[in-house]
A and B are shown apart, each in its own frame.
Chain A
Amino acid sequence: MSPVDPKAGKARQKWSPRDPETPGADTDAVPALRVHGLCKEFRARGERPGDGTVAASDVSFAVPAGGALGIVGESGSGKSTIARMLVGLLAPDRGTVEVDGRERSFRSHVGRAQRLARAREVQMVFQDPYVSLDPRLSAEQCVGSVLRLHGLGDRAARARRTAELLDQVGLGSREAAARPHALSGGQRQRLSIARALAAGPRVLVLDEAVSALDVSIQAQIVRLLADLRRDSDVALVFVTHDLAVVQHVTDDLLVLYRGVAVEQGRTAEVLAAPRHAYTQLLVGSVPRPGWDPAEVVRLRAAVLGATV
């Protein structure tokens, strides 16, 4: 058993629906995204409740319109599971997800119109665009198909909107006619973002969306996300393992360890002065000049116990 009791040192305020101090929640305004008490446990066949792998344990947060929340954690912390529950690819065991104050349903047996309406609200950008893009569609067909699917405008309006969206993410007319194999990794990720924006979402969930890119390209996408935040009021949920990137994209931060939000607060404050031992370990693990990995090993043993 690990010596860390994730709940013991829960440094920053636990979120509650009426708590005006909630990181990211404006005092009176209804946040674009509000998540309350999200729980998810994966159980192998025959495992009793409580014996399985906990991917989310009473996770709550809110993101205002135009705001950005980072979710950081190591592999297995449950960050992708939470992302998938926000989008509706997974149903939580307990807890609610609200968009603009309306609770999202996770029922699978609903009509097409309801499914589409649900999908429009929250869109997702995945880590590997080469896998998530249809190889047969050109960039403009890809974006156009989303507009058509949601019935957004007639043919001419859709063409205009497609050009707008591709321009917004920095893809020119040459890239518009290209299929994914002819695009570079950065261009593919730009296309993924354009496709997600085409639905006109209130919330954009990015799951390790810049992790696989070369740093020079990663910086371009980070800047694109900053432009997006300046020009629209879409709320961002930025899921990543990279603490250095998250400070450039988000206002608020949630640190996840084994499904538990061990620390929540303003991104800059959490990274500058982490309060929870696990956050301190994560921050200490980032290489910097004069950094000694052996110290991290000692710190890790103290925080998490011997793992091998």
Chain B
Amino acid sequence: MTDPEFRSAFHGHKDVLYRFAYRMTGSAAAAEDVVQDCFLALWRNPAAYDPGRGTLRAFLLGVTRNLLLKRWRRERPHDDPGDDTRLCPPADLEVRERAEAVAHAVQSLPPLQREAVILAEFEDMPLEEIARATGAELAAVKSRLHRGRQNLRRCLAPLLESKGETYGTR
């Protein structure tokens, strides 16, 4: 990979990787560290990216995701990132702004649900690309996304109700 190619990749994808890492961790410093490590990994071993297996964005998101999961496991050695049974608590509207409540709800999701929700809802990525980035089957991504949305509806029910809809009636 030449220097101009690397610069182009960096400027083209740094924001999406940063937003993804920021939403996954809730920390600007952690997001910056992870994105830096991701691009340095690309610089050191550009041959790891195979254009035949997907877009560069999906590849870089996959690297970022692995770094985030590694960090998550280091910080919570006894928690399973694939544990889908965890439910996030309802948002406390009295103490939180709406955006803050949404951020808290997303960050309360189990990691595998969280990454699927972030990439689909915030980055508008197609499911196939999410599957490539996360190294999962398409069906697994759909399932995680479905459970993540269910979890968020439960968590953000007070906010959804305040918009004039009744939660849980369907």
State whether these chains interact.
Answer: no
